[in-house]
């Protein structure tokens, strides 16, 4: 078992918490950079609820934290990276569901994403002990926003080798601003690496829409947020007004690859994280079939009215996104849409029933 000390940012989020669990199961000593002690307490509570044996087995020092209240401040991560050998940098702002005004987009999305990542790289360089930094990028860092979210990509196949020019705004939506933050961060990191030539290397992971159980959630109502909301909207009977990107990936796979990417056996590179059909064409989920799959997988819940997929209607905006290089490098097959449905809808029903019993 590894005894290396690693730093994880964003550990109190959907991807981050699952990554913390897998890192601990893999034997790493984990230090978390968090905004507050309350977030660390929430992580320990979730470990106790869902991973009791792991939580009980943690020796002193296996899981620790430092408070970083503002990652945009110069030197914010200096103390956090002290003595660590590797970093998993996940922390980044996600969309709020329309709570922001256009004037707030830059300070909410682009500023923390770019300054936080640049600050992490600079702190890692100063520390002198860091050998690798794994960064959570996004499909929209390497696939144009308009293609991914508006027009679709037709027959063109996109992969992790793409580059996207930064859109400086103004932005028409939170999603567009979020996508711009990912482009700015990815391009800025590549430029910094070329200029600074640090002793460590970097792996970028580019997930599509992340679907999967979130053990930090304690109520069914809390689950109708983040990327899981896309799938749950169909479980709850929503009829979409237009198509959504047909590109998804299971959270378990995303977290597993973040930890696996720490290994020197994985070349420093950019990798796409996306479930694609068996033909390897890059074609992903057909959202029009998902309500039927939900009803097939959870017939009793549908009959009881706990979910209502019978009333739902969805459609896919198709962009072919290849993850073949990732599957070969990491030696895995991404979990498909049925496993994603089982994970997300299964947890929703579980929490719904638990809340009904109280």
CATH number for the domain harbouring residue 207: 3.40.50.720
Structural domain includes residue 255: yes
Ranges of residues in the chain with a pLDDT under 70 are 1-2, 357-358
Angle at 331 between CA 325 and CA 332, to 5 degrees: 95
Structural domain includes residue 346: no
Distance CA 270, CA 258 (A): 12
Contact criterion met (CB below 8 Å) for 288 and 313: yes
The pLDDT of residue 281: 81
The pLDDT of residue 97: 81
Domain, as residue range, for 29: 3-211+246-280
Structural domain includes residue 300: no
The pLDDT of residue 273: 99
The pLDDT of residue 78: 98
The pLDDT of residue 332: 96
Structural domain includes residue 310: no
Structural domain includes residue 347: no
Structural domain includes residue 204: yes
Distance CA 336, CA 325 (A): 17
Q: What's the pLDDT tens digit per position in 176-188?
A: 999 999 999 999 9
* Torsion angles phi and psi, residue 215, rounded to 5: -70, -5
The pLDDT of residue 224: 87
352's CB contacts (< 8 A; 6+ apart) are 220, 306
Contact criterion met (CB below 8 Å) for 237 and 309: yes
Structural domain includes residue 350: no
Domain count across the chain? 1
The pLDDT of residue 98: 81
Structural domain includes residue 321: no
């Amino acid at each position: 078992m590894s005894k290396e000390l690693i730093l994880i940012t964003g550990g109190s989020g959907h991807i981050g918490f699952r990554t913390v669990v897998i890192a601990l199961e893999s034997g790493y000593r984990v230090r978390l950079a968090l905004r507050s002690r309350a977030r660390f307490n929430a992580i320990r509570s979730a470990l106790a609820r869902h991973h009791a044996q792991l939580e009980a087995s943690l020796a002193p020092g296996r899981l620790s934290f430092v408070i970083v209240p503002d990652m945009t401040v110069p030197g914010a991560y200096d103390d956090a990276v002290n003595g660590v050998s590797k970093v998993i940098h996940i922390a980044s702002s996600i969309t709020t569901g329309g709570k922001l005004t256009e004037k707030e987009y830059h300070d909410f999305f682009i500023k923390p994403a770019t300054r936080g990542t640049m600050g992490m790289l600079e702190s890692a360089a100063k520390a002198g002990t860091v050998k690798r930094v794994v960064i959570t990028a996004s499909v929209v860092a390497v696939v144009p926003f308009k293609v991914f979210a508006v027009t679709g990509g037709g027959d063109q196949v996109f992969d992790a080798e793409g580059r996207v020019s930064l859109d400086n705004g103004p932005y028409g939506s939170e999603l567009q601003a979020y996508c711009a933050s990912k482009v700015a961060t990815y391009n800025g990191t590549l430029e910094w690496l070329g200029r600074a030539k640090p002793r460590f290397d970097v792996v970028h992971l580019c997930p599509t829409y992340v679907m999967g159980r979130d053990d930090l959630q304690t109520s069914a109502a809390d689950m109708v947020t983040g990327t899981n909301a896309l799938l749950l909207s169909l479980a709850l009977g929503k009829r979409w007004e237009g198509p959504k990107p047909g590109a998804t990936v299971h959270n378990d796979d995303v977290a597993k690859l973040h930890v696996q990417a720490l290994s020197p056996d994985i070349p420093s590179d950019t990798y796409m994280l996306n479930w694609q059909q068996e033909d390897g064409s890059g074609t992903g989920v057909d959202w029009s079939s998902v309500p039927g799959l939900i009803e097939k997988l959870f017939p009793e819940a549908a009959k009881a009215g706990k979910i209502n997929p019978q009333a739902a209607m969805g459609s896919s905006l198709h962009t072919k996104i290849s993850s073949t290089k990732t599957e070969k490098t990491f030696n895995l097959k991404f979990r498909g849409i049925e496993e994603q449905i089982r994970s997300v809808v299964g947890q929703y029903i579980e929490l719904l029933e638990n809340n009904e019993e109280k």
